[in-house]
Amino acid sequence: MDDKSSGKNNAKKTLTVSYKNYEISSEKTFKPNYTNNSWAGGSVSVDSITLYKTAKAYNYDSANDGKFTIQGFMQIHYVIKTKADVSVYPTQGTYIYSNGEQHGADSTESWDGDISKNVTKQGTVTVPVEKISSVNSVRVKFDASGQDFSDDSLDHDFDFTITLS
């Protein structure tokens, strides 16, 4: 008897990052309800963060940080609402975990960048994690600016920390 006819589902959960599949053993989603309104160009919100623990340690080849062993990934879901024509780059940000790890988001996600006035865009940033059990917060750093380079009022350095609880 095969799994389908017996009612069992032995399908393994995988997460695809930069065109590679990673088997996932567990995941935990947090709902931080974080919004940053300090930018004249609009607001940046994080409405969910998911920590994925891989089924085994994987060798990871980061475009920014070289090769290292990972135990999982963090996915951060953003909602960006604009008040002007802006450029904003969470996918090119720096992510610092409470355990001292620092990584760039170097996956193939590219939903950010130039966003027109009065537009809402959503997207996910996926970041590797070397030691997943010791992560209880993430500090996020990325830049934003106006598309009109003569208007410096829209330049903004985002730097915020979200506790995972």
Q: How far apart are CA 129 and CA 24, in angstroms?
A: 13
CA gyration radius, the chain: 18
Q: For residue range 43-69, what is the model confidence (pLDDT) as tens digits?
A: 999 999 999 999 999 999 887 788 999
The correct answer on CATH 2.60.40 for the domain covering 3-163 is: yes
What pTM, to 2 d.p., does this model score? 0.89
Is 120 in contact with 47 (CB distance < 8 Å)?
Answer: no
- In terms of phi and psi (left: phi > 0; alpha: psi -120 to 50; beta: otherwise), the region of 152 is alpha
pLDDT at res. 148: 84
Across the chain, what does the average pLDDT equal? Answer: 90
Q: What are phi and psi of 29, to 5 degrees?
A: -110, 135
CB contact set of 8 (below 8 Å; sequence gap of 6+): none
Characterize 33-58 residue by residue with b for buried, 16 or more Cβ atoms within 10 angstroms of its Cβ, and e for exposed.
ebeeeebebbebbbeebbbbebeeeb
